[in-house]
Amino acid sequence: MNIGAALWLYKTLSRGAARFVFWWRLLGLAILPYLLYLEFAVLKAVCIYCTVMHVFILADFVVISIFLRKMAPLIR
């Protein structure tokens, strides 16, 4: 989904696409504390898959943030 949204923004350079990418990545970051709660409080264990997904969510946030900053001057 993130790659598709980023490609949509890259191809159209529309403000709507930029807003969607921003809110989508923010939603992904906002879900992270809930996932951590599930892992530690509910599962009471460190899940390797979950930990990998947490890293990917954070990495996605960083990559999309950099992408949006570089694309900002071009967005109409």
Note the pLDDT of residue 2: 64
The tokens of 56 are what? Answer: 């990917």
pLDDT top residue among 76 and 71: 71
The tokens of 31 are what? Answer: 């879900």
Please give the average per-residue pLDDT across 13-39, as a whole number.
84
Euclidean distance between CA atoms 37 and 44, whole angstroms = 9
Contact by Cβ (8 Å): 60, 29: no
Rg (CA), the chain: 15
Note the pLDDT of residue 44: 92
pTM of the model: 0.69
Euclidean distance between CA atoms 71 and 10, whole angstroms = 8
